[in-house]
Each structure stands twice: as C-alpha cells, then as structure tokens.
Amino acid sequence: MRLFAGSDHAGLDLKNHLVAKLRAEGHEVEDLGTHDATSTDYPDWAARVTDAVLANAGSLGLLVCGTGIGMSIAANRRHGIRAALCTDTFSAKATRAHNDANVLCLGSRVVGVGVAEDILDAFVAGTFEGGRHAGRIAKLDS
C-alpha cells in the first residue's frame, strides 16, 4: 500500500512511530512533514497530504495532530477526500467499508500508541464494500 503521512508539531512523535511501523510492514510511505517539534499549522500539512492522495490513485493518507479534529476538518475541505477521525478500530474498519475513506486522522493526545497502531492496521486493511454505499459516496462527490 502507498501512503502519505503528515502531522503538525503535536502529532510528530505519533506520526513518526506509525510511519516506521508501516515501513517495517513493507508499505511505501512518504512522510511529508513536519520533521521537528517547531510549532506549525495543521492546515499546511493536511494540504500536502491530501494533494498527494488526490494525485496518486489508490493511495491513503495519515494525518496526526493533537486531537485529530483540525486535521479532519482541513482535509475534508478538499473535493475527493474522505477523511475520518477515528478513535477505535471499529470506526476505522467501518469508514473504509462504508465511506470509502482515504485519509485517517488521529489525535496524539487522544489515543495511545498501541490503540493508534490497531486503528491504523484496521484502516489500511479495510476495503470499500460498494453496493448501497456507492450511491452515498456519489452524493458526496457531486
């Protein structure tokens, strides 16, 4: 799987951990930043990741900030992006199956490393069911 990752300063440590995990599992991951703890603005990183996801069909995005809320708001302003803030594995699996989500948002101050790993695993392994859900996605895209 090809993924693009980004975070602000608050999400840096969790993003770095998850990027390393994904790479160790054989996924192709491009870390678009931030790369240090200097205060930075989450919309900038959301834009970079969503641009990359939109330009690379079939890819996924990972965005991390303090709560995940800012990243999800910023990402969802982009046509063609379906970003989901997840705090549990059921939501991560369901959003891929029912919403065809292509960007996962996490809050580093909300979920611990172990839970974040499980959420990411469920998200990456998930697939879109189509069927009755396809019409709903078409409405979002119109």
Catalytic residues: 65, 98
Q: Which residues contact 56 (CB under 8 A, 6 or more apart)?
A: 2, 4
| CA atoms of 116 and 11, how far apart (whole Å) | 12
DSSP summary character for residue 93 = H
Let me know: does 106 contact 116? Beta carbons within 8 Å: yes
Q: Nearest 10 degrees: CA dihedral of 95, 97, 99, 104?
A: 40
